[in-house]
Amino acid sequence: MTEQRSSDARFRTSLLEENEGPAINPTDNRTMGEIIAARFSRRGFLKGSLAVSAIAATVSPLAMIAADDARAAEGSAFKFDELEAGIDDKHHVAPGYDADVLLRWGDPLFADSPEFDPTKQSAEAQAKQFGYNNDYVGYIPIQGSAEHGLLVVNHEYTNPHLMFPGIVKIVEKDGKKAAEVAPLSKEQVDVEMAAHGGTIVEIRKVSGKWQVVRDGKLNRRITSNTEMALSGPVAGHDRVKTNADPSGTKVLGTVNNCAGGVTPWGTYVMAEENIHGYFSGELPEGHQESANYKRLGIPEGAYEWGAHYDRFNLAKEPNEPNRFGWIVEVDVDDPNSTPKKRTAMGRFKHEGAESIVAKDGRVVFYLGDDERFDYVYKFVTKGTFNASDRLANKDLLDDGTLHVAKFAEDGTVEWLPIVFGQGPLTAENGFAGQADVLIETRRAADLLGATKMDRPEDIQPNAVNGKVYVMLTNNSKRKGDQVDAANPRAANAFGHIIEISESDGDFAATKGKWEVLLKCGDHSVADVGATFSTATTANGWFGMPDNCAVDSAGRLWVATDGQGPEATGRTDGLWAVDTEGAARATSKLFFRVPIGAEMCGPLFSPDDQTAFVAVQHPGDGGEDWEAFGRPSYYEDPSTRWPDFKPDMPVRPAVVAITKQGGGKIAV
């Protein structure tokens, strides 16, 4: 019972974001992009700064001249003094702004919630407290207010080595310190399950500062044990029936809720992303779901839930994984409502679900499938949005058409309908109806010839300029002969952003145009091939775009995931990116996270006076940070953000950023 596992096995939970899934080139060769990325760390160690000169051999003279020009140029339309990029154990915001911690892992959400005690955490306490690893942040106004509303927050996953005392042992491995993590007890697994899901919490701005309304009557925790309904075309299908649910309509819980959205009718949608990690065990020999699960990397077995709960063990419940990988809709107006998994929107590793009302009133959801070489989707409702009757929109998400994007070399994009009976989506290809097509959305999109992308993350429609922004994080596995116009870099270490203009400005259109807004990375290093404007400073460039937001002026803000000492010599953060006029592709750093964290959220309040950001997995890592240089875990974390108290672990938290003295952000 005291068997210790290697750190590699357990720390994979924290590496799930890497999405080293199936359908991917299996070689481990170090790519050019990785070699370039590694240079940044060496530069940092050698010079202790972000100076360009340390790698002069790879800096193009043109870029150097351009950098000089940039200093003189007026640059960005965002009015704030840029923050300096770097790495330490704290968060930092641009001068003149306050960044106040609003909600931390373990914070009480109800009048009867126990105070957080990390040494005595229980599932019961956790289910009444703010969950772990905050990701998506949404705001639903109460009576139209920009200063009083419901904050909805996803809790994507758990990091047991940072959550639980006494489970990590440091050993010597290959001459280096390594962490070994003990198996979790059932009680700890139960805490993990209660720390997943989402939070709905009333917040109010009082004297310029946001406060949590602890006894808000709509406050709610959603967890991996909340009863949910399967709705839409897959509900009741044989492939989603289990011993516990012979009806195929009731699911217990949601997992790995990454980004999401708030619908025009004020419901909260949560995207189920890396579902493969939660399942373990083996399918019975020759099982019909083998190929389906392989395409999603199921089972990955990073979590131990299957040891305690049959539904996460494939040998016992072979159909259970088909009940995950969906978009979940929550009616926040009724804290007892049953969340619905909207199967019409497809099943894959859903990153997010941002939406907009099209010209004719249909509602369009942009959906990314975050895996190397997977796809960009959009769902168009059949019915139209009713602005005067909220309940009339109740089941809009059960009927509509899912499309997948094909990006052509000539700068056009076609949205291919994923509809049973059309094109290759037929019985000959193993689909008996639309339910099969939706359960195996990836295979359907493969057959349609969709464009294989460099990890599609958040996709944001912009109501102000009519464009759609697609974040593509990276894809170190793309080879030279796999490059295409929409994924233009081999070994894409730093990612890029695509801008789509739908035909006639109609978000429901089946055709549009696209261009690359930005290839990311250090634009002063010629080999990187980044395309930030020359007005972008050495602090202003970034890599690995992940989440994004537009403020009400239609300006783009990009949050990153995956930077750090080795990758880019800077932590993740929030950058303001110009998309219009001469300043297009100019970027400025506004906020950065402590070591080990990624930047999630972001979200602007309806009056643009607050930027909410989610600091996810702070302290997860630090071996490659010169100032720490060893495994980070509960007793010895690389940061104790945000409390910095010796008896308090590092905690993921949502931060509210406001301008000192009030006013809109960056105006």
Binding mask of the shown chain, residues 605 to 634, with x at each position contacting ligand FEO by CB under 6 A: ------------------------------
Among Ca ion, ligand FEO, none, what does residue 371 contact (CB within 5–8 Å per kind)?
none
Distance of alpha carbon 85 from alpha carbon 92, whole angstroms: 9
Indicate the burial class of 291 (C-beta count within 10 angstroms; 0-12, 13-18, 19 or more): exposed
Instruction: Tell whether residue 258 is a contact of ligand FEO (CB under 6 A).
Output: yes
Which residue, 329 or 370, is less far from ligand FEO as judged by CB? 370
Question: Minimum distance from CB of 296 to ligand FEO (Å)?
Answer: 14
With a CB cutoff of 8 Å and minimum separation 6, the contacts of 528 are 36, 493, 494, 521, 522
Number of residues that bind ligand FEO (CB under 6 A): 8
Which residue, 216 or 260, is less far from ligand FEO as judged by CB? 260
Which residue, 17 or 572, is less far from ligand FEO as judged by CB? 17
Question: Minimum distance from CB of 595 to Ca ion (Å)?
Answer: 17
Among ligand FEO, Ca ion, none, what does residue 156 contact (CB within 5–8 Å per kind)?
ligand FEO
Instruction: Tell whether residue 17 is a contact of ligand FEO (CB under 6 A).
Output: yes
Distance of alpha carbon 639 from alpha carbon 594, whole angstroms: 7
Beta bridge partners of 615: 599, 653
Binding mask of the shown chain, residues 139 to 178, with x at each position contacting ligand FEO by CB under 6 A: -----------------x----------------------
Distance of alpha carbon 380 from alpha carbon 417, whole angstroms: 10
Among ligand FEO, Ca ion, none, what does residue 180 contact (CB within 5–8 Å per kind)?
none
Phi, psi (degrees; rounded to nearest 5) at 575: -115, 145
Which residue, 354 or 546, is less far from ligand FEO as judged by CB? 546
Chain residues 556-595 in contact with ligand FEO, contact rule CB under 6 A: none
The length of the chain in residues reads 667
Which residue, 182 or 275, is less far from Ca ion as judged by CB? 275
Among Ca ion, ligand FEO, none, what does residue 458 contact (CB within 5–8 Å per kind)?
Ca ion
Which residue ranges make up the site for Ca ion (CB under 5 A)? 17, 258, 457-458, 546, 549, 561
With a CB cutoff of 8 Å and minimum separation 6, the contacts of 396 are 265, 363, 381, 383, 385
Which residue, 77 or 600, is less far from ligand FEO as judged by CB? 600
Question: Minimum distance from CB of 477 to ligand FEO (Å)?
Answer: 16
Question: Minimum distance from CB of 473 to ligand FEO (Å)?
Answer: 7
Question: Minimum distance from CB of 609 to ligand FEO (Å)?
Answer: 28
**Pairing relationship of beta strands 511-519 and 209-212 according to DSSP bridges:** unpaired
Both tokens of 160, joined, read 């047991």
Both tokens of 285, joined, read 């020999």
Give me the amino acid identity at 299: P
Binding ligand FEO (rule: CB under 6 A), the pick from 202, 289, 398, 457 is 457
Task: Determine contact, residues 233/344, Cβ cutoff 8 Å.
Answer: yes
Instruction: Tell whether residue 230 is a contact of ligand FEO (CB under 6 A).
Output: no
Binding mask of the shown chain, residues 531 to 560, with x at each position contacting ligand FEO by CB under 6 A: ---------------x--------------
Beta bridge partners of 376: 368
Chain residues 262-291 in contact with ligand FEO, contact rule CB under 6 A: 273
Question: Minimum distance from CB of 16 to ligand FEO (Å)?
Answer: 8
Distance of alpha carbon 441 from alpha carbon 406, whole angstroms: 15
Both tokens of 542, joined, read 């970034």
Among ligand FEO, Ca ion, none, what does residue 273 contact (CB within 5–8 Å per kind)?
ligand FEO
Binding ligand FEO (rule: CB under 6 A), the pick from 190, 272, 370, 522 is 370
In this structure, the number of other CB atoms found within 10 A of the CB of residue 511 comes to 13
Question: Minimum distance from CB of 258 to ligand FEO (Å)?
Answer: 3
Closest CA to 257 of 200, 300, 219: 200
Task: Determine contact, residues 232/122, Cβ cutoff 8 Å.
Answer: no
Task: Determine contact, residues 619/652, Cβ cutoff 8 Å.
Answer: no
With a CB cutoff of 8 Å and minimum separation 6, the contacts of 206 are none
Residue in the shown chain whose Cβ atom is closest to Ca ion: 561
With a CB cutoff of 8 Å and minimum separation 6, the contacts of 285 are none
Question: Minimum distance from CB of 546 to Ca ion (Å)?
Answer: 4
Task: Determine contact, residues 628/636, Cβ cutoff 8 Å.
Answer: no
My answer on whether omega of the bond before 649 falls inside 30° of 0, hence cis, is: no
In the three-class reduction of DSSP (H, G, I as helix; E, B as strand; rest coil), residue 203 is classed as: strand
Q: Give the footprint of ligand FEO on this chain (CB under 6 A).
A: 17, 156, 258, 273, 351, 370, 457, 546
